[in-house]
Amino acid sequence: MPQGIKGWAIWALAQAGFTLAYKLAYKLAENAMISWGDDKIAVRFGITSPDASTVFDWAVPFALAAVTLWLFYHFTTHPLKKALAQQSTGDRFSATK
Question: Which pLDDT tens digit goes with each residue over 10-23?
Answer: 999 999 999 999 99
Confidence of residue 67 (pLDDT cuts 50, 70, 90): very high
With a cut of 70, say whether residue 9 has pLDDT above it: yes
16 closest CA partner among 24, 5, 4: 24
Does residue 82 carry a pLDDT above 90?
A: no
- Alpha-carbon gap, residue 38 to 30, rounded angstroms: 12
Average pLDDT, the chain: 85
Q: Give residue 91's pLDDT.
A: 58
Backbone φ, ψ for residue 3 (5° rounding)? -125, 140
pLDDT at 44 over 60: yes
Query: Quick one: DSSP state of residue 93?
Result: T
pLDDT at 94: 58
pLDDT value at position 72? Answer: 93
